Amino acid sequence: MNTATHSKPLLETKGLKKYFKIRKNVNLHAVDGIDLELYPGETLGVVGESGCGKSTLGRTIIKLLEPTGGSILFNGKDITNYSVNQMRPLRREMQIIFQDPYSSIDPRKSVIEIISEYSFIHKMYSSKAQTFSKAVEMMELVGLAKRYANSYPHELDGGRRQRIGIARALSLNPKFIVCDEPVSALDVSVQAQNLNLLMDLQDNFSLAYIFITHDLSVVKHISDIIMVMYLGKCVETAPSDELFINPLHPYTQALLAAIPKPDITMRNKEFQLIEGEVTSPINMKPGCRFASRCPHVMDICSQEDPEFLEAAPGHRVACFLVNDK
């Protein structure tokens, strides 16, 4: 929301690629040339269907996975080829909240041990007592009652467990957090509580989020800018409101039309369907990746990659339909 006040992006990727080798000469193109910019205090929502590479993107950005090509700039520094040792001090500034609150925390550690673990590793505080008292502060911050400090994860429900993950990520005072589907495993009322928490924390600490989700109503609620991914490519980016009012890429249009809306006046309207499913990202041929499902497909779509061009201020789209006008 405060894009204009910051001239320098906190995080920038240029043509970021991550391929997974399956066999000799057979590669899975999980992330295939992503350009993005993230400014301090801003939320970039990444949406797409399962298998489109959004989680891989999140993990590659913070170098939990080694990028295959392209570059990552953090605070203006190129961190693409940083070694594990070089990355370590930077980890304080970039954190991740994982999707599954059941498997992403150690079941054999107590809540306070889990939350303070990162501070110990990074030697944030001089004494053990201080580390623990900071961890208790973190618990209060995310709305976990102090009495849970010595509980084990299995004693807590999914929503509270997810808060442990949030407190752990915050314990290092990061500037930027990758949230990988942080509310998808939760019920709606708990999901809403945790979304509010994430937004409050952002206001208080001017955190920047990359918010990965497949839920379009969640992404609209939390994001300043939304990026729509399809098979490793970014097909459209736009400010949150603009994207929902004026989606330009046929895939974005299909995605928005497919959400069942809690409004019965639209009940007898047919679902707007796109045929087929996401195809395989193995050894991709040139051409638009959505071409095989696109209702407006033209000859050129299967021959060339559409360029990612600005259609309106801040609204970029990769589609021949829009860009040739």
Partner 1 sequence: MNTANILEIKDLKVIYKTDLEVVEAINGLNLTLGKGKTLGLVGETGAGKTTTALSILKLLPSVTGKILNGSILFDGEEILKMDEKKMQAIRGNRISMVFQDPMTSLNPVLTVGDQIAEAIQLHNPEMSKEDVQKKVASSLELVGIPSWRSVEYPHQFSGGMKQRVVIAIALACEPELLIADEPTTALDVTIQAQVLSMIRDLRDRFNTSMIMITHDLGIVAQTCDDVAVMYAGTIIESGTAEDIFLNKDHHPYTVGLFNSIPNLDVKTDRLSPIEGLMPDPTDLPKGCAFSPRCPHAMEICHQKRPPVYTNNTHNIACFLFLPEGKQGNKGGEE
Contact present, 266 and 283 (Cβ < 8 Å): no
Does residue 266 touch partner 1 according to CB under 8 A? Answer: yes
Does residue 137 touch partner 1 according to CB under 8 A? Answer: no
Does residue 214 touch partner 1 according to CB under 8 A? Answer: yes
Q: Any residues with CB less than 8 A from the CB of 45 and at least 6 apart, and which? A: 211, 212, 213, 219, 220, 222, 223, 225, 226, 227, 240
Give the SS3 label for residue 213: strand
Q: Mark residues 7-46: x for contact with partner 1 by CB under 8 A, - for none.
A: ----------------------------------------
Does residue 282 touch partner 1 according to CB under 8 A? Answer: no
Looking at the Cβ atoms of 259 and 312, the one nearer to partner 1 is 259
Applying CB under 8 A, among 22, 273, 282, 298 the residue interacting with partner 1 is 273
- The least distance separating partner 1 from the CB of residue 190, rounded to whole angstroms, comes to 7
Looking at the Cβ atoms of 4 and 264, the one nearer to partner 1 is 264
Does residue 204 touch partner 1 according to CB under 8 A? Answer: no
Which amino acid makes up residue 76? G
How big is the chain by its Cα radius of gyration, in Å? 21
Q: Mark residues 156-185: x for contact with partner 1 by CB under 8 A, - for none.
A: -x-x--------------------------
- The least distance separating partner 1 from the CB of residue 41, rounded to whole angstroms, comes to 15
Applying CB under 8 A, among 199, 297, 311, 321 the residue interacting with partner 1 is 199
CA distances from 223 to 14, 55, 155, 213, 258 (A): 21, 17, 32, 11, 20
Does residue 190 touch partner 1 according to CB under 8 A? Answer: yes
Does residue 188 touch partner 1 according to CB under 8 A? Answer: yes
Q: How far apart are CA 206 and CA 175, in angstroms?
A: 8
Q: How far apart are CA 183 and CA 34, in angstroms?
A: 24
Edge-first strand listing for the sheet containing 11-23? 26-38, 11-23, 69-74, 77-78
